[in-house]
Amino acid sequence: MDAVIDRAAGCLAGLALGDAMGMPGELWVPERIRATWGWLQGFHPAPSGHAIVDGFVAGQVTDDTQQAFMLAATIRDAAGEVRAADVARELVAWADRVGASEGSFLGPSSARAIELLRSGADPRTTGSGGDTNGAAMRIAPVGLVRRPGDLDALTDAVTEASVMSHDTGVAISGACLVAGVVSAAVEGADLAGAIETGIAAARRGRDRGEQTVAASVPARARLAVELAGGGTDDETFLRELYDLVGAWVTTTESVPAAVGVLVRGGGDPVRVTELAANLGGDTDTIGAMAGAMAGAFAGLGAIPTATLDVLTSVNDIDPVAMGTALVGVRR
């Protein structure tokens, strides 16, 4: 398999891996995760009565992966173009298809935007105030179709993919960080270089959209990298990351946290997503973002075949086919 295609497929598979690994403990505090599983490894079904994912089976993904593959298909079908109207249309179609608005499945910004879009509102007006991580969680496909040498074009594409639900500088900044890391990693950058590209993209993205009061995503990502390089054990690192950076659904916490576990895990998708699953907080989304970045760096071969088989069969996804298609329209 071509190296770029391998890394693109690894990105999409890593995203699904982190999502499924983090699904059972989604929005739980670390102490509850430890009390239930000890150190969470491998795939587990959702605990009975879970407020969000009750009934999910081991290896099942959430809306993070579903929206990312929705976005990927939308870009593929548009021959590499990223257009807000297309994404808005397909976002609503996806939500209707899976019944996403019927429970607690959606994040607050996406839920509000989808209701407005259903009423016929202009997609460029429905993302006002959206500062949570829904844009960043689905953005990896944009990194697969835009090159790191033109960060303005990458930022434009991220904005088009985000504006209908997360039209704020902080949300676009976080999505640019993830897309920038993916874009550089899939072309073979080392981990440190890919993160620098992501941070540079995040700085550009912060000037887009509605300006809200929010901490700097690039600055908090730097803090997460610093914590990841400490000489502590993994449990202590996760505690520090949780306490000092945070792990909530806000972009300012979850995107830097994903960078932290990415660095701590050395870009190994399995180790990175395991760390995310044990962090606590928005484990599925942090895992999805970190897994996408790690997969783009390490490639599909870094994910065990048996693990990949579970992800593809349980969720009916094909990371290789989609990754191949996206690389074909990369510009």
Q: What is the mean pLDDT of the chain?
A: 97
Interval 233-284: pLDDT, tens: 999 999 999 999 999 999 999 999 999 999 999 999 999 999 999 999 999 9
Give this prediction's pTM.
0.98
Residue 196: the pLDDT is 98
Residue 106: the pLDDT is 83
Q: Which domain holds residue 232?
A: 3-42+61-206+216-328
How many Cα atoms are found within 13 Å in the side-chain-facing hemisphere of 52? Answer: 18
C-alpha dist (Å) from residue 125 to 88, 103, 113, 122, 305: 11, 24, 9, 6, 43
Residue 103 lies in a domain: yes
Asked whether 55 and 305 are in contact (CB, 8 A), the reply is no
Domain count, the chain: 1
Residue 163 lies in a domain: yes
Nearest residue to 244 via CA among 261, 231, 230, 257: 257
Q: Can you read off the two tokens belonging to residue 164?
A: 């209908």
The pLDDT of residue 107 is above 90: no
The pLDDT of residue 50 is above 90: yes
Residue 53 lies in a domain: no
Residue 178 lies in a domain: yes
Interval 209-220: pLDDT, tens: 999 999 999 999
Looking at residues 299-321, what average pLDDT do you find?
Answer: 98
| CATH at residue 253 | 1.10.4080.10
Residue 54 lies in a domain: no
Residue 320 lies in a domain: yes
Given pLDDT bands bounded at 50, 70 and 90, which one contains residue 101? confident
Residue 47 lies in a domain: no
Residue 55 lies in a domain: no
